[in-house]
Amino acid sequence: MSEPSGRLVLIVEDNPANLLLIRAVLRRGGFETAEASSGEGLRRELRRARPDAVLMDVRLGDEDGLTLTRALKSDPGTAAIPVVAVTAQAMAGDRERALAAGCAGYVCKPIDTRTLVSQIEAVIAATPAARAGEVERQ
């Protein structure tokens, strides 16, 4: 169990079992978590607190996580938040589509619980705004 880092990851996931797994892994890794299962929930959570990263399921029922990502990236208030796409299968072109939508990274289901925390940490560390915030906190 890691010490809480004060870093917040917003998990956008419509599958309850996946959400429970991701939440458990991230909290064990020292992250705080917020959760949404739809675009409406995503917007609600973004108004509530600015996450250090968003973990975005690509398939959210009728909604498309990459469309939600493009909307987040086109809003100056949220554009700097790094988004990591989560997709059910490594379809040809999925990685390219995720990166083209503005995602900073990409993970496949089933989630690799051994590497998820380090992947999110790497994405946050590579985000200029996050590094600046880290310097301020020291």
- Smallest gap from Cβ 33 to Mn ion, in A, equals 17
If binding is defined by CB under 5 A, does position 57 make contact with Mn ion? yes
Q: Which residue has the tokens 């959400």?
A: 19
Of residues 85 and 130, the one with the C-beta less far from Mn ion: 85
According to CB under 5 A, which one of 59, 70, 73, 97 is a site residue for Mn ion? 59
The H helix count followed by the E strand count for the chain is 6, 7
Of residues 15 and 119, the one with the C-beta less far from Mn ion: 15
- Smallest gap from Cβ 57 to Mn ion, in A, equals 4
Of 36-44, 50-58, 97-105, 122-130: span binding Mn ion (CB under 5 A): 50-58
**14 to 43, contacts with Mn ion by CB under 5 A?**
14-15
Q: Which residue has the tokens 């390219």?
A: 96
Q: Do 38 and 32 contact (CB within 8 A), yes or no?
A: no
Pairing outcome for strands 63-64 and 83-87: unpaired
**Residue (of 106, 20, 34) closest to 65 by Cα position:** 106
- Smallest gap from Cβ 19 to Mn ion, in A, equals 10
